[in-house]
């Protein structure tokens, strides 16, 4: 069987038979791959502990007929060490892994941008330098954008007009948000059932998408909370089934 090497994040694992596991990976070069790791549930396994969720690993795989087999695994970054012991980081990280698993739907479809986003997001999360909730929201908005569901937080998602900067509150002309229509709506395009977030919340959402951390960190908690709710609604709309793991994230 031909061998190949790749770098990957372990997204999830499940048991197979007596001692094996199927490992779902997001790889740098081969996109999402499911592979069998033989004997990893035995205590004598050489690399069982390297194939846990959140691990960033360098792998050697053999090309199988249905599933590939993992023949070697070396740890590149043990992200689980910085994530697993903290409830907030852990629940946020779990949503990130589940989202990557769902957004990279096709197996073996290279998805370098999604891989780099996930590695970058887990690195910041594990470092503890930023609020897990904000790292998560920023990751969700960016990964949905890469997947083709980029939300609009300035121009009207329906007609494309930009908010008028005149008046007492800049951006106030685009006060409605609708996940199914792709983002904010102007007064003309708004539809019943749209949310009407604060203008500051839309600014936070734009900053989370752009990775503009000074703006995010200066925001008030109520606007960050409102932004999180809208990100969750947007994600739920664009994934066919909701994410189970998102229910555990405390906001």
- Could you tell me where the beta strands, DSSP code E, fall in 39-83? 55-62, 68-78
Select the span of 48-56, 71-79, 83-91, 186-194 touching Zn ion (CB under 5 A): 186-194
* Among the listed residues 186, 219, 235, 246, the single contact to Zn ion using CB under 5 A: 186
Between 116 and 159, whose beta carbon lies closer to Zn ion? 159
Residue 174 as a binder of Zn ion (CB under 5 A): the answer is no
Q: Work out how close the CB of 184 gets to Zn ion at its nearest, in angstroms, rounded to a whole number.
A: 9
Q: Work out how close the CB of 187 gets to Zn ion at its nearest, in angstroms, rounded to a whole number.
A: 8
- Could you say which residues in the range 123-162 bind Zn ion, by CB under 5 A? 156, 158-159
Nearest CA to 154 out of 117, 182, 188 is that of: 182
Q: Work out how close the CB of 186 gets to Zn ion at its nearest, in angstroms, rounded to a whole number.
A: 3
Q: Work out how close the CB of 161 gets to Zn ion at its nearest, in angstroms, rounded to a whole number.
A: 5
- Could you say which residues in the range 48-87 bind Zn ion, by CB under 5 A? none
For residues 194 and 198, give the distance between their C-alpha atoms in angstroms, rounded to a whole number: 13
In sequence order, the 6+-apart residues with CB closer than 8 A to the CB of 38 are 19, 20, 69, 70
Dihedral sign (CA 118, 120, 125, 126):
positive
Given a contact cutoff of 8 angstroms between Cβ atoms, the answer to whether 60 and 214 are in contact is no
Between 125 and 185, whose beta carbon lies closer to Zn ion? 185
Residue 238 as a binder of Zn ion (CB under 5 A): the answer is no
Between 73 and 156, whose beta carbon lies closer to Zn ion? 156
For the CA atoms of 85, 86, 87, 89, the dihedral, rounded to the nearest 10 degrees, stands at -120
Between 132 and 163, whose beta carbon lies closer to Zn ion? 163
For residues 9 and 28, give the distance between their C-alpha atoms in angstroms, rounded to a whole number: 9
Q: Work out how close the CB of 23 gets to Zn ion at its nearest, in angstroms, rounded to a whole number.
A: 46
Total site size for Zn ion, rule CB under 5 A = 5
Q: Is 23 helix (H, G, I), strand (E, B) or coil?
A: strand
Residue 184 as a binder of Zn ion (CB under 5 A): the answer is no
Q: Work out how close the CB of 130 gets to Zn ion at its nearest, in angstroms, rounded to a whole number.
A: 34
Residue 189 as a binder of Zn ion (CB under 5 A): the answer is yes
Q: Work out how close the CB of 171 gets to Zn ion at its nearest, in angstroms, rounded to a whole number.
A: 13
Between 95 and 189, whose beta carbon lies closer to Zn ion? 189
Residues in the chain: 251
Select the span of 41-49, 90-98, 134-142, 180-188 touching Zn ion (CB under 5 A): 180-188
For residues 64 and 139, give the distance between their C-alpha atoms in angstroms, rounded to a whole number: 33
Rg for the chain, CA atoms, rounded: 20
DSSP string over 188-242? TT--TT-B---HHHHHHHHHHHHT-HHHHHHS-HHHHHHHHHHHHHHHHHHSSS-
Between 139 and 176, whose beta carbon lies closer to Zn ion? 176
Which residues are near Zn ion by CB under 5 A? 156, 158-159, 186, 189
């Amino acid at each position: 069987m031909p061998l190949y090497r790749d770098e990957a994040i372990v997204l999830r694992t499940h048991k197979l038979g007596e001692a094996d596991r199927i490992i779902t990976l997001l790889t740098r070069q081969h996109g999402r791959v499911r592979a069998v790791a033989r004997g990893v549930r035995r205590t004598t396994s050489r690399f069982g502990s390297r194939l846990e969720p959140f691990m960033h690993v360098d792998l050697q795989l053999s090309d199988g007929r249905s599933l590939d087999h993992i023949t070697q695994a070396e740890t590149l970054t043990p992200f689980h060490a910085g994530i697993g012991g903290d409830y907030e980081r852990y629940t946020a990280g779990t949503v990130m892994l589940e989202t990557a698993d769902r957004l990279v739907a096709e197996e073996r479809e290279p998805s370098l941008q999604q891989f780099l986003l996930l590695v970058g997001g887990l690195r910041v999360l594990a470092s503890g330098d930023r609020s897990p909730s904000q790292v998560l929201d920023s990751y969700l908005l960016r990964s949905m954008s890469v997947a083709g569901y980029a939300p609009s937080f300035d121009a009207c998602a329906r007609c494309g007009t930009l908010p008028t900067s005149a008046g007492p509150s800049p951006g106030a002309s685009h006060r409605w948000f609708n996940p199914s229509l792709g983002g904010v709506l102007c007064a003309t395009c708004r539809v019943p059932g749209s949310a009407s977030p604060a203008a500051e919340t839309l600014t936070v959402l734009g900053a989370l998408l752009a990775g503009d951390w000074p703006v995010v960190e200066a925001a008030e908690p109520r606007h960050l909370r409102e932004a999180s709710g809208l990100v969750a609604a947007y994600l739920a709309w664009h994934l066919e089934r909701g994410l189970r793991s998102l229910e555990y994230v405390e906001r």
